[in-house]
Amino acid sequence: MSNFGVRVVQLFPLFTGLTLCYLTLQLFFLYQLNPVFIPVAGTVAFINILGNIGIAWLVTSLIVTVSPESWQVLIRVVFIALYVGLIGTLICDQYVLITHERLDEAIFLFNWKEVWMIADPAHRINWGSATGIIVLLGLPFLLVNWLKRYTPPYAWLVGTIVLCNLIRFIPIRSDIDRLSDNRFEYFIKRSVIALTNSNEQENANPRDFRELDPAFYGSHKGIHPGYPLAHRFEEPSMLAEQLRRTSHQNPPHIKIIIVESMSSDLFGERGRNTGNLMPFMDSLSKQSIYFPNGFSTYQRTHNVLPAVLASVPNTIDGNVFQQLPFPRHYSLFNLLSKDYHTQFYCGVPLSYLNMVGLMSHYKTDYQVNRWHTKCLAHKERVGSSWGYPDEDLFWQAHYDDSAKFNRSKNPVLKVFLTISSHDPFLYPNKDKWQRNVLEKSQKITDIKLRNMVRRQSASFGSFCYVDSVLQDFFSKEVRNPQFNNTIYIITGDHGTELYRRNALSKYNVPILIYSPLLKKPSTSRAVVSHNDIAPTLINYLKSIYQLKLPDTVAFVGRELNLSSSFKADRKLVFTTNKLRTTDLISDQYAWIGGKPYKIDYQLNLTPMRASKREKWAKKQLQYYQAFTRYTLLQDKLLDSVSYSQWVGKPLVFKIKKKQSIKELNLAPGMTYLESHSLKTKYSTIRVEVDCKMYLNKLSDINNAPNLVLQSRKTYYLSKKWTIFRLVKPRIQGKFKPKERNQVIYSLEFNPKDLAVWKKGGSLHLYMQHSLAFPIRLKEVGIQIYEQEE
């Protein structure tokens, strides 16, 4: 025992120094999050840290006592492990501060390039943070050497460690436990669970979701057992009673503005929660049909275009709709293509998430891909890593209207997707708008919310900037001869990551319908969704302007509800920012983050005790995943006859190039596959790469190589030449653990919609991965198709 005590004391500098480092990092995290949490959460964190490190301390002492020859090696291993854990904790803490979510195994859905893009260290790391990181990296060495001067009593050390571990058995509030828990330890636990899970994926059939509550897909009265979403319009048009007919009796112009991260708490009824940062939108909400209780079914931008334009179910298993083989489905663009001139404006490159492919599939008349030199110059001055500031987005649209589209006889259907209020929040006149936030935040009565806004004033300033841009946009629109016959729909793509009033606010977005044709403004407090926009517009145009549109549709949404009183008779499924379909609301009940809540008229959440509803919610999510797998991945939204009648025959492709490779060894980096010459007269292209890939577990697909498409033959990713870098594979058929599975990569797009191809050129295909070891693919098939003319 005396030898054991000697070893405990000898290890005092190492373990105490690292304990102090972890505690310092924890207190710094709590200070950044909210200083109010420091006294209680900091104390609990200290007990947890000393308890965990203390156990490692005693175990190490025991091993060295039994096996003295392991002393030097063991000390180095323990120090390296704790040091790596310290760096991991720093990374995970910053992730929480940025996203308000703990990092977990969902990170494996992205490759290192995507992670680097999300992290964006070029704009997150300044001199202050860089200095802090350097200090933290050197602090363990300084503390360990400094503490070598002290020799504390053995009994005192062991007693403190034992006491801390006993105290940890005392139950504490879940929110304090969450704050005091080590975020890196949480990440490791979740990752181990995910990597050892081997759930099987296989094709679904209607029996697999027969117990799914139909309200989760609109409570529609189905008309075909094989196509569960197919239904007829049975509700009267809500807009028919709210809007006057246009002065020329022709269909109105429609302009849809999707604002990045615009939460309902930024203006209108709940704008006081953030200091009413968007005064123009405040005023516009009073002149519109205003829905403060709108919801995005995604916490990321991935699904906003399919949801708003096409009202399709959420994708699952980390898939993105734009990178799936497009199922037969209606959208505002393809249904209205004969009557409207369709345009899409987005500040980020259209190749991102294959928006260009989606819009090409919808036969969009125009996508912005060649920017005016004024916009190019301004983007460089602002230094935005994502794309063009919002003022340039709208300026380009007004310029195009005057220069390109002023002769169009058809009404316009125009969609805008803004980016300036996206992290890392780079926008013009940042200092001015930051001061504006600090001034307005004084009006926030809730101290917690006020401090949250003030701490992130530079980021919240982006919404003040966007508000001014929207005001300028509408001041120009008023002078447009089309203004009096235009319907404007404004919404957010999802809630802002900066603000979390509660676990539901990340999905809560406003929806506004503003128009000079509006008979009178009104506020609807019903729960509505992005998925309700397309069916509402189609039903209106069909019933009032007698446009030739189908009676049978496959929209997951329904007519927007105009109830002036709070009406929570809605069931919605949500997909988190980690691309998991794990949250839902069911009337006045919510299941968010694995916890049950009660919802009130202000969308406040009251925790509930777990009950039978917990089991019901988990089952419904399981059924919904089978439902969306069946409808989207197995192409069961619309039958081919109906689709061909209203949209035209699905694109027919003829194979232009085909290659088979018996075996392909992919070294880390990029491996060349094939090239294809593009004609000057472009047509839609489909690229497919299929192969057999060894997968130990289902989650291994997340680390599979990416398919990369470039416009030049280079063996590195390039901002200039790399067009698609994030094309991920999906498993074909039933997953087989510890075997080679058939996987497929697919992408569909039209090169004319990308500015990089101006006068022909070539398309170059690569496989790319960043793992430290080679990956072997078997029976690789490469097919490049072109649309038949």
pLDDT in tens, 453-480: 998 999 999 999 999 999 999 999 999 9
Residues 274, 439: Cα–Cα separation, whole Å: 11
Q: Which two tokens stand for residue 787?
A: 């649309």
Q: Which two tokens stand for residue 599?
A: 């919802």
Residue 312: per-residue pLDDT = 95
Tell me the domains of the chain and their CATH numbers.
Answer: 2-195 (no CATH), 206-640 (3.40.720.10), 651-787 (2.60.120)
Do the Cβ atoms of 372 and 391 come closer than 8 Å?
no
Residues 438, 455: Cα–Cα separation, whole Å: 9
Do the Cβ atoms of 670 and 718 come closer than 8 Å?
no
Residue 99: per-residue pLDDT = 66
pTM over 0.75: yes
Residue 199: per-residue pLDDT = 47
3-state secondary structure of 303: helix
Do the Cβ atoms of 511 and 528 come closer than 8 Å?
yes
Residues 765, 691: Cα–Cα separation, whole Å: 15
Residue 603: per-residue pLDDT = 92
Do the Cβ atoms of 179 and 46 come closer than 8 Å?
no
Residue 623: per-residue pLDDT = 94
Residues 284, 565: Cα–Cα separation, whole Å: 21
Q: Which two tokens stand for residue 445?
A: 């009565």
Return the half-sphere exposure (C-beta side, CA atoms, 13 A cut-off) of residue 232: 4
β-pairing verdict for 775-787 and 761-769: unpaired
Query: What are 65-70's contacts with CB under 8 Å, separation 24+?
Result: 65/3, 65/4, 65/7
pLDDT digits (tens, 9 = 90+) for 745-768: 888 888 887 877 766 788 999 999
Residue 605: per-residue pLDDT = 93
DSSP state of 251: P
Helix 127-147 to helix 71-99 angle (10° resolution) is 150
Residue 100: per-residue pLDDT = 66
- Residue stretches of the chain with pLDDT short of 50: 198-201
Do the Cβ atoms of 541 and 335 come closer than 8 Å?
no
Do the Cβ atoms of 232 and 552 come closer than 8 Å?
yes
Element (H, E) at 531: none
Do the Cβ atoms of 388 and 402 come closer than 8 Å?
no
DSSP states along 363-378: T-SEE--S--HHHHHH
Question: From edge to edge, which strands make up the β-sheet containing 653-666?
Answer: 653-666, 775-787, 685-695, 739-749, 730-731
3-state secondary structure of 651: coil
* Cross-strand partners of 514: 488
**Residues 378, 384, 389, 395: what is their CA dihedral angle, to the nearest 10 degrees?**
40
Residues 184, 26: Cα–Cα separation, whole Å: 11
Residues 345, 341: Cα–Cα separation, whole Å: 13
Return the half-sphere exposure (C-beta side, CA atoms, 13 A cut-off) of residue 125: 11
Residue 214: per-residue pLDDT = 93
Amino acid (1-letter code) at residue 447: I
In the chain, count H helices and then E strands. Answer: 23, 25
Do the Cβ atoms of 411 and 339 come closer than 8 Å?
yes
Residues 421, 431: Cα–Cα separation, whole Å: 15
DSSP state of 59: H
Q: Which two tokens stand for residue 479?
A: 């002078």
Q: Which two tokens stand for residue 122?
A: 């070029």
288 by Cβ neighbours in 10 Å (0-12 / 13-18 / 19+) ranks as buried
Which residues does 536 contact at the CB level (< 8 Å), separation at least 6?
A: 237, 238, 239, 559, 560
